[in-house]
């Protein structure tokens, strides 16, 4: 029997209360370019955003969507090239962002929320990141 081998995350799908505000947030705050739109009756009701490589964020209009801690998707994590620059850019756009913290897995992280309340972790790897060197880590949260 052939085994399945997962290569990477293809996309994460989120719902948007306001599709235009959500597209502007991901484009202007996070620099993620739209790839294509989903149309119905001549109107945009969803879109794909480029998250690097062959990874995407898929967004669909859903005005009744509500985010809470019971949501199946806990958060979206985006690797960035320079976390300090990313945080400065986000602050300049009057978006709340946490302080940069070195996590127990030896990565740097900061957190924001999109206009729909979706939590977004911004990640910068180090040479000691557990994702590359392995080793158990004691959670500090």
21-35 pLDDT, tens digit each: 999 999 999 999 999
Does residue 140 surpass a pLDDT of 80? Answer: no
pLDDT in tens, 53-110: 889 999 999 877 666 666 667 788 999 989 999 999 999 999 999 999 999 899 999 9
Residue 66's pLDDT is 65
Indicate the helix (H) or strand (E) that contains 14: strand 11-16
Q: Per-residue pLDDT for 4 more than 60? A: no
From the CB of residue 122, how many other CB atoms can be counted at a distance below 10 Å? Answer: 22
Given CATH 3.40.250.10, say whether it is the number of domain 11-66+74-133: no
Residue 105 · residue 130 · CB < 8 Å: yes
**In degrees, to the nearest 5, what angle opens at C-alpha 86 toward C-alphas 11 and 133?**
65
| Mean of pLDDT values over 2-16 | 80
What predicted TM-score, i.e. pTM, was given to this entire model?
A: 0.77
């Amino acid at each position: 029997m052939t085994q399945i081998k997962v290569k990477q995350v293809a996309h994460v799908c989120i719902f948007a209360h306001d599709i235009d505000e959500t597209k502007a947030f991901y484009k202007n705050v996070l620099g993620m370019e739209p790839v294509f739109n989903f149309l119905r009756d001549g109107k945009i009701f969803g879109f794909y955003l480029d998250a690097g490589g062959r990874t995407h964020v898929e967004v669909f209009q859903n005005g009744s969507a509500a985010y809470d801690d019971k949501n199946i998707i806990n958060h979206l994590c985006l690797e960035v090239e320079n976390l300090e620059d990313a945080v400065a850019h986000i602050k300049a756009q009057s978006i709340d962002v946490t302080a940069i913290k070195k996590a127990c897995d030896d990565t740097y992280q900061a957190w924001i929320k999109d206009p729909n309340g979706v939590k977004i972790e911004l990640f910068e790897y180090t040479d000691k990141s557990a994702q590359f060197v392995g080793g158990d880590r004691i959670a500090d949260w």
